[in-house]
Amino acid sequence: MSPQDIQDTRGPKGPTGVDDSAKVTGLGYGRPSGTSPVWLTITKWVLIALVVGLLAIVAQKTIEQGAWVGVVIAAFVAMCVVVVYGTGRSVPLKYLLPGLVLLVALQIWPIAYTVATSFTNYGDGHTFSKQDSVDSIIANSVREVPNTPRYKLSVAVKEKSDPATAEAFYLLTDPAGTTFVGDLTGLNDLPAADVEKAPNGRITKAAGYQILSAIQVNARKDLNSFAVPTKDGGGIKRVGLSEAFEGKANVSYDKTSDTLTDRATGKKYVPLNARWAPVDGQGDPFPQGWKENVGFKNFQNVLTNDTLRSGFLKIFAWNFVFAVVSVGSTFILGMLLALLLNNAKLRGKGLYRSLMILPYALPGFVTALVWSSMFNQDYGLINKMLHLNVDWLGDPWAAKAAILITNLWLGFPYMFIVCTGALQSIPGDVLEAAKIDGASALRTVRSIVMPLLLVAVGPLLIASFAFNFNNFGLIFLLTGGGPFEASDTSIGSSDLLITYAYRLAFSGVSPNYGLAATVSIFIFAFVALMSYQGFRRTKALEDVN
Amino acid sequence: MHKRAIGAAAITGVAALLLGACGSSTTPAAKPTPSATTTTTAAAEPTKPAPPVRDAAADLVIWADADRVPVIQKYADAFGLENNIKVAVQVSTDVRQQFKDATKVDKGPDVIVGAHDWLGELVQNGTVAPVNLSADVAAKFAPQAMAATKFNGQSYGVPYAVENIGLVRNTDLAPTAPATMDALVKAGQALVKSGKATNILIQEVGKTGNAYFTYPYLKAFGGGIFATKANGDYDAAKVIVNSAGSLKGATALQSLGKLKALSTNVDGTNADALFDAGKAPFYITGPWAIDKAKKANIKYAISPLPSLAGGGKMQPFLGVQMFYVSAKAKNAALAEEFVTNYVPREDVQLALFEAGHRPPALTSAYDKVAATDADVKAWFEAGQGGQPMPNIPAMNSVWGPLGQAAADVIAGKTAPKARFDAAQKEIVANIAKG
C-alpha cells in the first residue's frame, strides 16, 4: 500500500463521519444509543449475547471438569464484556478489552503457570497427591494368593431389588464345580440344587437371586472395590465380568505413623523426597511419588549444577553468536534482495517475490529435516555436489556452519518481506531530493534508505533475535545439539540454552517439569535483558526522523 | 530422550510464549526412541495431530494406533454384541502421550494398545491397573512375552505380539546367511571390492547413536545395560555399560567402524533407502523395514544376528505389544473382561497378526502362523534367547548416553574403554537425579 492509498482511505471520513457523531454523544448527552441507529444497537446486543453465551458454554465445560477457578474467570470475563460494551461508561476499554483478555490468557497466564511450576517437583512419577500415591501403590500390590482356586463369577442381587443399588452378591463356581455365594460378610455354600450352570460352570440362574447383565455390572462402580472377605485377610475380587480370584494386598498403609508396610518382606517405607522410600535405605522406593512444593530447590539446583556451570559460558557465547549471526545474515540477504527487486524498471517482480517467499511458506520441520539429510557426509547432496568430504553434522565447527546456513535459508524470506514493505513506505520525494543533490546510488542507500529502513525494521530485528535465541526446533531437528565432544551427552557443541535446558530437565529417569520451568525462567531473564537493551538502541534510531 | 517428550515440549512452548517470540514458534518433535514401535512412526512425528476425544456414548473405549484399529474394531464389535454394549475403538496417533494426558484430566480410554516398555512410566504415573490373568491362560503365552508385561512382579496387561531385530540379507548378493560377523564382513568386503555393493552392512547408527541397536553387541559378550535382580527384574542400581563384556562389545563396534561396516552417516532416515537400492548385502533391522524392501522388489531372507568373534551370538531386545487397562477406566469391568477373556483368544491373536505381521505372543497362534509364514518364523528365531527391553523408567536415562558412546566409538573418535566408562558415569548420574 502506498502512502497515497493510506490518505485515500482516510479521506471520506472526517467532518461527517461516524467518528464525529460518537464524539458528540460522548460529550454528555448521556445515552449513546440515543443517536445510534436501531439496527446497530440490536447488532451490538446480539454480539454481546453471543459472547456471553460462548462463555457460558466454556463455564459449563469447566464445571464438568470441576475446575472452579475456570468458572470464576469465565464469569468475570462475561461480566466485563457486558459492563464495557453494554454501557457507554468506558470508551477506551472498549478498544482495550479484547487485547487485555488475550494478553492475560496468552502471556500472563503461561508466565504465572511456569513460575508456579518452577516451585514444584512436578514431573513423571510426581503427578498426583500423596493420598493418590498410597491408593495406587496399594491397588497395584494386590496379588493372587498362591494355591487358591479361580472362580467362575456371576454378579447378582436379591430377587425383585434394584440392580443398580441393592446389595451385591457374587455367585461363584470353583474348578471342582462347587457353588458358593459371597457378600461383604464372607463366603457361604450355595446348594447345587438351587442353581443352573452354563457348560463352563458359570451360574446362569439361582433361586432367590437376580443375575446382573454385563452392562449392569459395569454400571456398579462399587464393585471395583468389592471383595468377599476370606479367612486369611484377603478377598475374592472380580476380574472382568465372569471370573474371580482370591487376592491380597501386599502393602498396607498406617496413617498414624505415615508408613507403608510390605507384608511379604516386612519392609517399611517412609516419605522421602516425595516418594515412599525404604526406611533402611536398602532397595528401591515405590515408583509412584507425589507432587509437592519444593520451594527454591529447583533454582538452587540450576545455580549449583556442575555441568551447567562448566558449560554455561560456552553455550551462552554460541547462543549469542547464533542469534546475532542469524539475524544479521538473514537481514542483509533479505535487504539486498528487497533493494534489488524494488527497482521500478524490473519486470516480473511479482513472480520473483513469490519465489523468494517459498522457503518461508514451507513448514520449518520439513525443511530442517531435508537440510539434515543434505548435510550427510557420505550420502548428502551438499558434499556430493561440491566434491567435499566435510563431516557437517559430526564436526563441531562444521555443525555450527550447517546450522547458520540452514537458518539463513529459512529466515531470509521473512526479512525480505519486511524490507520490501518498509522500502515501499519510504517517501519518493526524499529519494528524489537525494538524486537532485547528486548523491550516488550507494550513497543514497547508505545515508537515506538504511536509516529510514532501520527505524521501521529495528523492533522486528529484536523480535527476530529473541526468536532465534530460542530456536529450539531448528537445533533439535538438525543436530540434536551435537556433536558431543566431551564424552558426555549433557553439553553439545551446537546446543542453545533452550536445547541444553531441555536435555538437563529431561535426561533424568523421568521428565522434571519443575526444573524445566525454572530454567526457562532464567532464559526469560536473559532474553528480556538483552531485548531491553536492544529496544533502547532502536529508540535512539528513531531520532533520525 | 523420549517420545513422551512431546508433552515435555509443552513447557518449551510455554517458554517460547514467555519470550514473546515472533513468527511461528515451532514445537519440537520428539526424538524417536529406538523402541520398536516408534521406529516405524518417527517420520510422522512432527505433524502431531490432535488426540482422539473419548466417545461419551460408548460403554467401552479402546485407543490404538491406526493400523490396529480396524482389526480390534472387528472383535470389539463381536464383544459388544455378546454383552449388548457399544464399544468404540478410536485411533490415537501417539497412544503413550495422549493416554497419559487424557487420563490426567479423566478423559482417557478404558483400554489402550501399546508397547511393553511404556509400563514403568505408566505405573509411575498411576495410569494403568494390574491385570490378573489366571495361571492357565498365562501359560499359553510365550514366557518372555508374559515377563515383559510385569513390573515389580505385578502383571499389567495381555501381550499379543513380539518383535525384535534380525539380520536381513539381499539374497541376490548374499545367498547364504553368515553365522559370524567375520564371515559377514568378508562376504560384504568382497562384494564392495567387485563393485556389486556400496556398503558391507546397513545398520542405523546416526550422529547421536542408537542404543537399541548397540545392545546386541554388548550382550554377545555377556555385557548389557542393567544387571538383573534375583527375581529377573532389571536392576536400575546396577548399570553394566562398562562391564568387561560390554567393553568387548564396544571394541567390536570400533573395529566394525574402522572397516566401514558401521558408519555414523547411516541413520534412520537413509537406512531403508540404502538397502532398498539393492547395493547392500546385509541390513540389521526389524520387521518394520520389510514392507519397503518388498515394494523395492528386493529378494530378501531373514536370519538370526551373527555371532561375534570371541563372544557369543548377538541377542536383540524383545519388544512386546500388549493391551493395558486404565487405572482410571470408567468401565473397569468391561475393560478387564475384554482384555482377559478376548485378547488371549487364538482368533483374535491371529487377526492382530494379520494387521501387524509380528510373531503372535500366544504360542498356539504363533505355531499356526509359523507353519505358513517363513518370515514370521525367521523373526521369531532371530529373537530366540533375547530379553525383553527394560520397562523400568531408568531406561530413559540410558538411550542418550549409550547411543552417543556407541556413535563416538564407531566414528573412531575415542577409545572404547574411556568412552564407555564416561557413558556409565553419565547414566548412573542421570539415574541418581531421579
Q: Which tens digit of pLDDT belongs to each residue from A119-158?
A: 998 888 888 889 989 999 998 888 888 888 899 999 999 9
pLDDT cut 90: percent of chain A above it = 20
Judged by average pLDDT, the poorest of A26-30, A464-468, B184-188 is: A26-30
- The sheet carrying B300-303 orders its strands as B201-203, B282-285, B166-170, B300-303
In this predicted structure, which of A230-234, A272-276, A536-540 has the lowest mean pLDDT?
A536-540
Residue A26: per-residue pLDDT = 40
Q: Is B391 helix (H, G, I), strand (E, B) or coil?
A: coil
Interchain proximity A365–B263, CB inside 8 Å? no
Residue of A nearest to B395 (CA): A509
Q: Name the one residue in this structure whose C-alpha cell is 467362575.
A: A152
Is the Cβ–Cβ distance between B111 and B324 less than 8 Å? yes
Residues A257-261, mean pLDDT to the nearest whole number: 91
Ranges B17-26, B219-228, B354-363, most confident: B219-228
Closest Cβ–Cβ partner in A113, A489, A510 for B396: A510
Q: Quick one: pLDDT at residue A305? A: 76
Indicate the pLDDT class of residue B252, thresholds 50, 70 and 90: very high
For residue B277, the chain A residues in CB contact (below 8 A) are: none
Count how many residues are written for chain B.
Answer: 434
Instruction: For residues A43-64, give the mean pLDDT.
Output: 88
Burial of B328-352, coded b for 16+ CB within 10 Å and e otherwise, reads bbbbbbbbbbbbbbbbbebebbbbb
pLDDT at residue A499 above 50? yes
What span, in angstroms and rounded, lies between the C-alpha atoms of A335 and B308?
59
pLDDT at A35: 67
% of chain A beyond a pLDDT of 70: 92
What strands lie across the sheet with A268-272, from one edge to the other?
Answer: A251-254, A259-262, A268-272, A275-278
- The confidence score (pLDDT) of residue B35 equals 36
Percent of chain B scoring above 90 in pLDDT: 63
Q: Provide the grid cell at B85.
A: 454394549
Are A518 and A302 in contact, with CB atoms under 8 Å apart?
yes
pLDDT in tens, B318-369: 999 999 999 999 899 999 999 998 899 999 999 889 888 899 999 999 999 9
ω into B306 cis (within 30 of 0): no
Taking the CA of residue A434 and the nearest CA in chain B, the distance in Å comes to 35
Distance, CA of B25 to CA of A438 (rounded, Å): 46
Q: Which amino acid is at A160?
A: K
Q: Pick A388 or B283 by higher pLDDT.
A: B283
Say if CB A368 and CB B264 are below 8 A apart.
Answer: no
Cβ of residue A284 closer than 8 Å to a chain B Cβ:
yes
Instruction: Please state, as a whole number, how many other Cβ atoms lie within 10 Å of the Cβ of residue B12.
Output: 25
Indicate the pLDDT class of residue B402, thresholds 50, 70 and 90.
Answer: very high
Domain boundary assignment for chain A: 22-118, 128-141+259-290, 142-249, 301-542
Q: What mean pLDDT is predicted for residues B392-415?
A: 91
Residues 6+ apart with CB under 8 A from A532: none
Residue whose grid cell is 518394520:
B288
pLDDT of residue B433: 77
Alpha-carbon distance B182 to nearest alpha carbon in chain A (angstroms)? 24
Is the pLDDT reported for residue A508 higher than 90? no
- Indicate whether this model's pTM tops 0.90: no
| A contacts of B270 (beta carbons < 8 Å) | 373, 376, 379
User: Which residues on B lie below 8 Å from A288 (Cβ)?
Assistant: 123-126
DSSP codes of every residue in A266-293: --EEEEETTEEEETTS-SPPPS--B--B
Quote the cell numbers at residue A102. 488475550
Report d(CA A406, CA B326) in Å as an integer: 44
Amino acid A158 reads: K
Where residue B306 falls among pLDDT bands split at 50, 70, 90? very high
Q: Which residues contact A260 (CB under 8 A, 6 or more apart)?
A: A134, A137, A251, A252, A253, A254, A268, A269, A276, A286
Q: Could you confirm whether domain A301-542 is CATH 3.40.50.620?
A: no
Task: Report whether pLDDT(B191) > 90.
Answer: yes
pLDDT at residue A66 above 90? no
Radius of gyration of chain A (CA): 36
Per-residue pLDDT at A7: 39
E strands, B103-244, in order: 111-115, 150-151, 154-155, 157-163, 166-170, 201-203, 226-228, 234-239
Contact between B246 and B223 (Cβ < 8 Å): yes
Give the highest mean pLDDT range of A76-80, A234-238, A510-514, B197-201.
B197-201
Contact residues, A window 137-156, toward B, CB-based 8 Å cutoff: 139-144, 150
Q: Is residue B142 pLDDT above 90, yes or no?
A: yes
Chain B nearest C-alpha distance from A119 (Å)? 14
Handedness of CA A383, A389, A393, A398 (dihedral sign): negative
CB neighbour class for A295 (10 Å; exposed up to 12, middle 13-18, buried from 19): exposed
Choosing among A130, A495, A510, A526, which should be mutated to test the B contact, i.e. which has the most B CBs within 10 A? A510
Give the pLDDT of residue A543: 62
Q: Work out the average pLDDT over B238-267.
A: 95
Of B229, B226, B248, B224, whose CA–CA distance to B239 is shortest? Answer: B226
Q: Do B397 and A508 meet the contact criterion of CB atoms below 8 Å apart?
A: yes
Pull the grid cell for residue A160: 425383585
Percent of the residues in chain B that have a pLDDT greater than 70, as a whole number:
88
Single-letter amino acid, residue A164: A
**pLDDT per residue as tens digits for the range B93-114:** 889 889 988 988 888 999 999 9
Domains and CATH numbers, chain B: 35-163+319-388 (3.40.190.10), 166-318+391-433 (3.40.190.10)
**Contact predicate B418/B251, CB 8 Å:** no
Residue A53 · residue A65 · CB < 8 Å: no
Q: How confident is the model at residue A34 (pLDDT cuts 50, 70, 90)?
A: low
